[in-house]
Amino acid sequence: MSFQKMFVVWRCLFGVLTLLLLSVASASAAVADWSGDWDSTWRDRTARIKLVQSGDDVTGHYRLKSGQIQAKASERVLRGTWTERGRHGSFVAVMAADGKTFTARFGSGEWLTGIRVEADGQFQGQPVDRSSPAMVAHHFLNIMNAIGPGRMELLSEASLFLDFSGVVPSQVSELDYTQALFNVLDAMTFRIWSLQPAPGAAEYTAQLHQAGTDVTFLLDFKRSGEDWFIVPPSFTDLQSSVQRARHERPVLIDDKNAALASPRHTMQTLVRAFDNESPAVDQALSTLNLSQLSGLAREYEAPRLTRYINRSLQRIRVLTWQEIPDDPKAIGAYVHFEHPLGAITLEPVATDEGIIWQFSPETLQSIRAVYAALDNMPPSALKYVQPQVESLYFRTRDAVRNYSQTLVKRAGPMEIWQWLAACRS
């Protein structure tokens, strides 16, 4: 290529680059529009932030702890302060070029990200179905069930499923109402998909029951446009309902068997054992009735069986705790899932310290076959539920299964891929 031609090429490239830089500079110089609702996340916490912009002044609030925001916008950068119940601090946020997300850093060094809510009925940028009382109860309960250490901001999201228009103004916050309603529903046992109003109805009342007692609770819903909402009773009525439920079934705090007190307690104990990066193996093992396993099988096989049960539960359906009975005095076994190859069953077991609920020996015997039948079913996933960390064994097994389904078939006491690995070693 001659020098003249190279000069022409470089001049063209320089011109294109200049145009790109000018367009980026022009886009950056425009003051971004911060007004609107943003679903924010920081360190596994979430909250919906509402911002209002007037010129370069931006104010905002979020429900949890009555949070307030005061800031100044400059191009795509927002600098300001936050306050909540006597606490305060500074932050700086930068909006992405598409105007749909932002990233922020607190004065303490912590991070926060946000995604713009493009339409009502969204959570973290994903649509939330409010088309029926059942769907509203499904989302409300599972958001509240997901609340744990460091995730109290989910209360503000759950409160969006409640209609407070008929609530008499008082010193009780909407978040307190939300928690009080959940405390009542958590004491009940009911099938969510049984909450079905008559076709065309604009209001619906469901009578809920506490398992094993005569305590009931009336849960009201009403439709606004195409969306349904829970209509909470008075705060006093909610407190009374909780007291009645707890009187009939006191909260098991000091009981050594509290974690295995009912099918619901045992199921929670197993699943939550795998919520952290380092699983609570002993906690998970306590949920199994190992009476028919040999000493060797208890040591080597039982820990793996807990994971097979847990992974099966994740694939069957979304686990909504309030659908699982929590009656410690129930007599018969609780069958959570039935398959031609086996069932997942919890049954009462007599111990020296009283009755506990554990996964039955029959469940342990058939769970590998049941899991194999569910293997290709993707785990049920909710945006507000944190995914569990998989063990090295199952990460390896999943990789082998993706390569060849044949290799994960059972061959005697192990699967084919395990035999191959044993031969190579």
CATH class of the structural domain 36-122: mainly beta
Contacts of 300 (CB under 8 A, 6+ apart): none
Residue 130 and residue 121 in contact, taking contact as beta carbons nearer than 8 Å: yes
Q: Both tokens of residue 190?
A: 């009911």
C-alpha angle 131-139-310 in degrees, rounded to nearest 5: 130
What whole-number distance in Å separates Cα of residue 265 and Cα of residue 257? 10
Q: Which helix (H) or strand (E) holds 236?
A: helix 235-248
**Cα 199 to Cα 196, 203, 224, 231, distances in angstroms:** 9, 11, 15, 19
Residue 322 and residue 387 in contact, taking contact as beta carbons nearer than 8 Å: no
pLDDT at 242: 94
Long-range own/partner contacts, residues 390-395 (CB < 8 A, 24 or more apart) = 391/279, 391/307, 393/304, 393/307, 394/307, 394/311
Write down the domain spans for the chain: 36-122, 128-248, 258-389
Which letter does DSSP use for residue 274 in this model? T
Amino acid present at 395: R
Residue 65 and residue 155 in contact, taking contact as beta carbons nearer than 8 Å: no
* Torsion over CA: 168, 174, 180, 185 (sign): positive
Cross-sheet strand order for the sheet of 334-339 = 334-339, 342-351, 354-359
Whole-prediction pTM: 0.70
pLDDT at 362: 97
Kindly give the confidence (pLDDT) of every residue in the chain, 425 residues in length, as a single tens digit, with 9 standing for 90 and above.
555 555 444 555 555 455 444 444 444 445 688 998 887 877 656 677 889 999 999 999 887 667 899 999 988 899 999 998 778 899 999 998 888 888 899 988 888 888 787 655 555 556 678 899 999 999 999 989 988 655 556 777 888 899 988 876 666 778 788 899 999 999 999 999 999 999 999 999 999 999 999 999 999 999 999 999 999 999 999 999 999 999 988 765 556 778 999 999 999 999 999 887 667 889 999 999 999 999 888 888 899 999 999 989 988 888 999 999 999 989 899 999 999 899 999 999 999 888 999 999 999 999 988 988 887 777 776 655 666 666 666 667 767 666 666 666 766 666 776 666 667 66
What whole-number distance in Å separates Cα of residue 356 and Cα of residue 253? 15
What whole-number distance in Å separates Cα of residue 197 and Cα of residue 151? 33
